[in-house]
A = this chain, B = another copy of it.
Amino acid sequence: MSQPSMPTPRTRVVREADRGVYDRETAYRILDEGFLCHVGFVADGQPFVIPTSYGRKDASLYIHGSAASRMLRQMKEGIPVCITVTLLDGLVLARSVFNHSMNYRSVVILGKATLVEQPAEKLEALRLLSEHILPGRWDDARQPNERELKATSVLRLPIEEFSAKVRTGPPVDDEEDYSFPTWAGVVPLEMTAGTPVNDPRLDPARKVPHYVSNYSRQH
C-alpha cells in the first residue's frame, strides 16, 4: 500500500483546488502511462524546460542523457528541479468561452536529482527506463557497453514532494448558459501508435515483434 502524501505549500494545488490529488497511486498511474516529461532547472537565474523521457520504479523517477548535456551537467550539482508529466485527454467545449477547458492528468514533482554512479544500479536504471517506454525491448537489443555507459548519465529524482492534477468529464457551464445555442461536449484526444516503419536497412526476413505491434500506452 502506498502511504498518503501531504501537499507542501509548494505543491498544494491553488487553482481549481478540487482537481488536486495527492495520493501516490494516482500519481504513479499517470507517471506510468506517460514517458515524456518536462524537466525544469535554473541556470544563472534563467529557468530552462527541457523535454526528455523517464522511467519509474517505486518512489524513484529516472532520467538519462548524455553525460555532456547542459541539463544533466547542471542537475548533477544537486540543484532543485521540477519534473512535470502531462497527459492530454481532451478538449472541453463549454457554451461560454470562459468555461472552455481541457481534460488532462498531470504530475509535478519537486526535489533534487542525484547522479546514479554505481555501475550495476546505473545499468538497472537504464533497463527500467527502457522497459518503462517500451516493455520487452531491452532483452531484444544490443546491450550497452562500457564506453556507452560512460557516455550516459542517469539521474534519480525521489518522488517525495509531488502533486497531481486531474480534470475529467463534460464541460461545466454557468446555469444561465445551458440554453445558449451551441454544441457542447468533449473532443477526446489520445496519443496513438501508427503502423511500425521498418528501418530501410532492416533484413526483410525480420518480423515486427509483438511488443511493437501491440504497443499502447494504456496499461
| A interface residues (Cβ-Cβ under 8 A, vs B) | 10, 14-15, 36, 38-42, 45-51, 53, 65-66, 68-70, 80-84, 86, 88, 91, 93-98, 100, 102, 104, 106, 108, 110, 126, 130, 133-134, 137-138, 140-145, 148, 151-152, 170-171, 177-178, 180-202, 206-209, 212, 215
Could you tell me if B45 and A42 are in contact, using CB atoms closer than 8 angstroms? yes
10 pairs of A and B residues whose beta carbons are closest in the complex? A188-B194, A40-B47, A40-B49, A38-B38, A49-B84, A51-B86, A184-B199, A98-B148, A96-B142, A40-B40
Instruction: Please give me the residue from chain B that is nearest to A182 by CB atom.
Output: B140
Q: How far, in angstroms, from A97 to B64 measured CA to CA in the complex?
A: 13
B171 & A185 in contact (Cβ 8 Å cutoff):
no
Known contacts A93-B134, A178-B201; decide if A88 and B183 are in contact (CB<8 Å).
no
Distance of A84 Cα from B178 Cα, bound (Å):
36
Least CB distance, A212 to chain B, in whole angstroms:
6
Contact between A197 and B212 (Cβ–Cβ < 8 Å)? no
Q: How many whole Å from A171's CB to the nearest CB in chain B?
A: 6
A152 to B96, CA, bound (A): 14
Given A46-B10, A98-B148, A144-B97, also A196-B186 (CB < 8 A): yes
Rounded to whole angstroms, the CA-CA distance of A40 and B46 in the bound complex is 9
Query: Once the chains bind, are B196 and A187 in contact (CB under 8 Å)?
Result: yes
Given A45-B80, A47-B80: A191 in contact with B194 (beta carbons within 8 A): no
Alpha-carbon distance between A144 and B141 when the two chains are bound, in angstroms: 55
Flag if B192 contacts A192 (CB, 8 Å). Answer: yes
Contact, CB under 8 Å: B197 / A209: no
Known: A193-B188, A212-B187. A38 touches B142 (CB 8 A): no
